[in-house]
Amino acid sequence: MPNIAKRMSNVSPSAIVQVTNKVRAMKAEGRKVISFSIGVPNFTPPQHLFDAAHKEIDEGTLAYLPGRGTDELINAYLYRLEQDGFAGYKKENVAVTLGAKNALFDLFYSLIDEGDEVIIPTPYWTSYADWVDMVSAKGVYLRCGAEQNYKLTPEQLENAITPKTKMFLFNNPSNPTGMVYTRDEIKAIADVLVKHDIWIISDDIYDKLIFDGEKFHHLLHVCPELQDRMIMTQSISKTYGLPGWRVGMVAAPEAVTKQILTMTSNTIMNVPGVMMAAAAAAFKGPHGFMGDLRTIFAEKRNMVMDSLAKVNGINCPKPQGAFYAFPDVSAYFGKTYNGKKLNNDVDVVEAILEEKEVAMVPGSAFGEPNSMRISYACSNEDLTEGLKRIEAFFAEIQ
């Protein structure tokens, strides 16, 4: 058999997908696994999204569609941008992609040369590091541990920028930590970025999932001067509950959206029209359901925090957004469960899966090996039971 390309040697299948596959296999064996592993919201999207998709099936075209997106979708997204406080965006500045993943990969592929430095606050969402490897860039991973609430400081950013820095990748609210930056924190980061001519990707896919009455603050809100270098990515996966329908959006300077269109025309050609119709309906609104969603997720977040507070030695900065918690469990490294030594995050997560049948993702998949990720977007029943099992696991550790 001929060789696989060398460039794939550092790239592994998504760690999250690997855990998901393992859970599927265990369930197929009849085991009662509770999954806190995948970032899929557990709510039914509003009916008008389905109605729009049905209408497109009945009345839409079967032909190829514009790579940038249908006019209906583009206009709906421009409307949403305006509603969200982003002025000055026109048709040339936006493009649809097959989920935010497709957008982010295309951006890495078309903006980064071999050896360019990409600054990524860590913990980061898993795929970022794989894209760095895929395009032979140099990832500059700035560790932001639990002791600093998993948040990047302006000093860390300033010290990391070199003449080779090409891009800064920012995700707020954060997957995997659920952290949300305050306005002052965003402003301090923007004050550094404004001095340096680098691309900024702002992965905003959790922007509507913020709790406790807190507001979403964007780098562009506090520093509109960044607009000519700012690339914003969005998706219908999380806030609209449609991860499998694969619609992402990019808003960026025209020079960047042009590259996205080039990539689209040579790869996926267009996003399916049925999905674009649903996405257009999503962006047009109404968005009333999101208030309920925030209340529901905040309650689940509280359940997680109350449970973890009962476990000695776990430090979990309180998430204010998304649907993840990221407890630091390093106090348990070196201890023993049922005769098995727990050397690191992978050992802890694997032991909890084997012994208590609760699935999570080890922190090392996100570049932070002291922690593990709990995705709490499941039913309250599963959440209560899974948390009870995790508490029992740590209580039984020697």
Instruction: Give the interface with ligand PLP as residue ranges (CB under 6 A).
Output: 39, 99-101, 125, 171, 175, 203, 205, 235, 237, 243, 248
Q: Least distance (Å) from ligand PLP to the CB of residue 380?
A: 22
| Closer Cβ to ligand PLP, 100 or 251, answer by number | 100
Crossing angle (nearest 10°) for helices 127-134 and 99-111: 30
Q: Length of the chain, please? A: 398
Q: Least distance (Å) from ligand PLP to the CB of residue 248?
A: 5
Q: Least distance (Å) from ligand PLP to the CB of residue 117?
A: 21
Query: 154 by DSSP, 3-state: which?
Result: helix
Burial letters 53-87, b for 16+ CB under 10 A, else e? beebeeebeeeebbbbbbebbbbbbbebbeebebe
| Closer Cβ to ligand PLP, 13 or 30, answer by number | 13
Q: Least distance (Å) from ligand PLP to the CB of residue 121?
A: 12
- The three-point CA angle 328-183-364 to 5° equals 25
How many other C-beta atoms lie within 10 A of the C-beta of residue 26?
17
Q: Least distance (Å) from ligand PLP to the CB of residue 350?
A: 22
| Closer Cβ to ligand PLP, 219 or 311, answer by number | 219
Distances in Å between the Cα of 32 and the Cα atoms of 61, 324, 385, 392 are: 44, 22, 11, 17
Question: Distance between CA 254 and CA 89 in Å, rounded?
Answer: 10
Kindly state the tokens that stand for 285.
């609104």
| Closer Cβ to ligand PLP, 342 or 377, answer by number | 377
Kindly state the tokens that stand for 79.
């409307």
| Closer Cβ to ligand PLP, 102 or 307, answer by number | 102
| Closer Cβ to ligand PLP, 20 or 384, answer by number | 20
| Closer Cβ to ligand PLP, 122 or 171, answer by number | 171
Question: Distance between CA 107 and CA 395 in Å, rounded?
Answer: 46
How many other C-beta atoms lie within 10 A of the C-beta of residue 147?
10
Crossing angle (nearest 10°) for helices 289-309 and 380-395: 20
Q: Least distance (Å) from ligand PLP to the CB of residue 69?
A: 15
| Closer Cβ to ligand PLP, 351 or 372, answer by number | 372
Nearest to 166 by CA among 112, 97, 210: 112
Handedness of CA 41, 43, 44, 49 (dihedral sign): negative
Q: Least distance (Å) from ligand PLP to the CB of residue 223?
A: 22
Radius of gyration of the chain (CA): 21
Helix H or strand E segment including 297: helix 289-309
Q: Least distance (Å) from ligand PLP to the CB of residue 397?
A: 30
